[in-house]
Amino acid sequence: MPARVLVFCTQPVPRTTVAELEAALRDADLLTLAECHDLPEGEDAAVDEMWRHFRIDTSTPSEVLEAELAWHAVQRPVQLSIGPPIPGELKETLEEWLCGDASPALLRVRDHVARTVAIVSFEMGISGSNHLAATIAEVLAFHFAERADGLVWFYYRDFVSPDDRGATLLTTGR
């Protein structure tokens, strides 16, 4: 099973280009973000390696709706997709993962997910989720969340708001 980071957006996702995605990553402090992965080669070497292999493959570079973000010589690329929720997806998410006590955090997340008009999805291999693929997904997830009123759901577990990236808003059942 792949690892996923999802962004539930209550506003349409603005048109995004390959250049904007790369700029968001280049502007981020990848070295600091990568520290949490305890990379055997170290953050500097891992980030240098990432940029040597980095490319964004998409059939529509003027507006990215689906793309593969290559970041490593052998690791699976991060797959990015942007679109409306598939029929029944929000209902299933609300029923399966967002039930329980009516805490303020749960109510906020349930309301947000119910109002979602677009989902940005990042899919990566499990090993990549313990490496820089996770960092790439995190940076770009918050990039989209800020632009389209989104909440980020990391690995079907933790909801985080771009307003307070360091704090988990809600932890779900997994």
> What pLDDT score does 173 carry?
65
* Range in 21-25, 39-43, 113-117 the model is least confident about: 39-43
Q: Is the pLDDT of residue 128 over 70?
A: yes
Range of the domain at 148: 3-171
Q: At what angle do helices 89-97 and 104-114 cross, to 10 degrees?
A: 170
Q: How far is CA 132 from CA 16, 32, 38, 121, 168, in A?
A: 22, 11, 11, 17, 21
Query: Between residues 19 and 63, which one has the greater pLDDT?
Result: 19
Provide the token pair at 14.
């603005």
Q: Is the pLDDT of residue 22 over 70?
A: yes
Q: 49 burial class (0-12, 13-18, 19+ CB within 10 angstroms)?
A: middle
Q: Going edge to edge, which strands form the sheet with 55-57?
A: 55-57, 66-70, 78-83, 118-124, 3-9, 150-154, 158-160, 170-171
Instruction: Give me the percent of the chain exceeding a pLDDT of 70.
Output: 95
How many domains does one find in the chain? 1
Report the run of H or E that residue 8 belongs to, with start and end. Answer: strand 3-9
Q: 96 burial class (0-12, 13-18, 19+ CB within 10 angstroms)?
A: exposed
Q: What is the mean pLDDT of the chain?
A: 90
Residues 62-89, mean pLDDT to the nearest whole number: 91
Q: Is the pLDDT of residue 118 over 60?
A: yes
3 state DSSP class of 53: helix
> What pLDDT score does 73 carry?
92
pLDDT one-digit tens code per residue, 33-60? 888 877 778 888 888 899 999 999 998 8
